[in-house]
Amino acid sequence: MKFRVYYEDTDAGGIVYHTNYLKYCERARSDIFFDKGLSPVIGNSNFVVVHIDATFKASAKLGDMLNVTTKLISQKRTSLILTQEVLRESKVLFSMDITLVFMQGEHPKRLTNEILDLFSVYKA
């Protein structure tokens, strides 16, 4: 997912506010579904973040063109582990490993074949 950094994304010094990197990654994950005409909310089931390991490597600035990449590291019956990176050109500014559990209400739910197929193209 490619996008430009806008004023609303930055602090008073024109540097991207740290929590926005998480938002950029969330948008990229949602776009995986939206690009196929699907929704990340399926009936009364959706993904819940259970763990994030994030590394901030360099700052993005107002006006930068950024790209978010997503790689599937592993999948289990009810969960996915992804690595997502925010890049400016080829420089990694932010990276994170995120564990997502597919939930129905308060209970983990088996990943559907549609979800497994959707993420299979992102295998590392």
Is 9 part of the annotated catalytic residue set? Answer: no
Name every residue whose Cβ is closer than 8 Å to that of residue 76 and which is 6 or more positions away in sequence. Answer: none
Rounded Cα distance, 45 and 55, in Å: 29
> Could you give the count of Cα atoms lying within 13 Å of 88 in the half-sphere of its Cβ?
15
Cα angle 21, 50, 65 (rounded to 5 degrees) comes to 15
- The active-site residue out of 11, 35, 53, 117 is 11
Catalytic residue IDs: 11
